[in-house]
Amino acid sequence: MLTEMGKQAKVAERTLSCTSTDIKNAALIEIATALRNNCKLIIDANNVDLKIGKEAGISGGLLDRLTLNSDRIEKIAQGCEEVAALPDPVGVIDMGSTRPNGLEIKRVRVPLGVIGIIYEARPNVTADAAVLCLKSGNAVILRGGKEAINSNKAIAKIMREAIVKVGLPIDCIQLIEDTSRQSSTELMQLSDYLDVLIPRGGAGLIKAVVENSKVPVIETGTGNCHAFVDESADIEKAVNIVYNAKCSRPSVCNALESLLVHEKIASKALPAIAEKLSLNNCRILGCEKTREILGSQIELATEEDYATEFLDYVISVKVVKDIDEAIEHIYKYSSGHSECIVTNDLDNARKFQSQVDAAVVYVNASTRFTDGGMFGFGAEIGISTQKIHARGPMGLPQLTSMKYLVNGNGQIR
């Protein structure tokens, strides 16, 4: 089945790679309209997934990721329109020169080809990924998790029917409906047809794809994100940043998971932060100094806690002696996603941004801004935590490669 899907994607990709920007944009607008017109159908399918998920006892964080409602579907549709409004990277010349022998050399952006996406219980990814791939001229094969299969099937069907209306091949977008482990494994082996594979999900999924794939992988990482409250920090600002980063939506990869506080400000900052976090019954796991300040009801944090992406109302806390200890802690436990310092010390801000190795490093702002939309990229394909090809929010340019166009007049070597 997957081999046949791969063949169909290759055929579709040849057409899509040469399709004009106007037609691709028309397809995206058609998808946005279709999603809005079929909102009830999508929600009904999503309710089936939610019912099954609740009966299976999946966590609150995963249920939140899985949930679609009219507001979220509207945001997905708006995301389609935003991507349509973005510049098309395909065909952009980003380098050109004329050699001494008269050869004219240009480097142009071209689609990657056929992209495979393996993801978990986030049905919005079905639309976001397809839309970005479509605009950047790539055919896509989607393989979502079993938790969202009914939602994914509904969204994929709507999108496939929409793009046909503007003349694009229906197999520009394909969804693998078999959610068994075997289908995931087979997709990882589809090197004859896939040009790149992108995993989106938890650490286990990403590790499995990286270790087992025969297809080149762009690794979108887990988000063990930290905030360091420096001794010079404005406490009110720190409270608001930490609360937003942790509690605005704890189930996403840019949510805060670990808090580091300078020992000289900890006795004032920690009680204020803890009081704010209590509004969402956020569970605090802290070091001994944290417990001395906040009380013995705070659970003692373990090494495993500091290395964990909770994706829930849980946060690990450590009191550190200085910025160097904070940076060392982040170096040890960070997943390289998003890190933040709250400080009024310009030298410490510069030091933190230069020495912390992550895709995005913030000064006095919530980690929740690590997002393609927030960065002006439109919907994102994921947040890359690797250093090859793409890093950080991956928008349209990151879904292209390059080729060289060389024009001569009979030159030989």
Of the listed ranges 86-100, 248-262, 384-398, the least confidently predicted one is 384-398
Give dist(CA 206, CA 119) in Å, integer.
9
Mean pLDDT of 241-260: 95
Model pLDDT for residues 67-83, shown as the tens digit of each residue = 999 999 999 999 899 99
CATH tag for 225-369 (out of 3.40.309.10, 3.30.1360.170, 3.40.640.10, 3.40.50.150): 3.40.309.10
Give 2-220+381-407's CATH code, choosing from 3.40.1010.10, 3.40.605.10, 3.40.50.300, 3.90.950.20. 3.40.605.10
**Does 36 have pLDDT greater than 80?**
yes
Rounded to an integer, the average pLDDT of 205-232 is 91
Band of residue 37 on the pLDDT scale cut at 50, 70, 90: very high
Compute the average pLDDT of residues 256-282.
98
What's the whole-number mean pLDDT along residues 358-377? 93
pLDDT band per the 50, 70, 90 thresholds, residue 378: low
Position 49 pLDDT exceeds 90: yes
**Interior CA angle at 119 toward 334 and 361, to 5°?**
25
CA-to-CA separations, 306 to 140, 278, 301, in angstroms, rounded:
36, 20, 7
H/E element, 41: helix 39-56
How high is the mean pLDDT of the chain? 95
* pLDDT for 201: 79
The whole-number pLDDT of residue 405 equals 97
Q: Where in the chain is the domain with CATH 3.40.605.10?
A: 2-220+381-407
Q: How far apart are CA 336 and CA 384, in angstroms?
A: 9
**At residue 241, does pLDDT exceed 80?**
yes
DSSP state at residue 217: B
pLDDT in tens, 300-329: 999 999 999 998 999 999 999 999 999 999
Structure confidence at residue 212 as a pLDDT band (50, 70, 90): very high
CATH 3.40.309.10-classified regions of the chain:
225-369
| pLDDT on residue 163 | 98
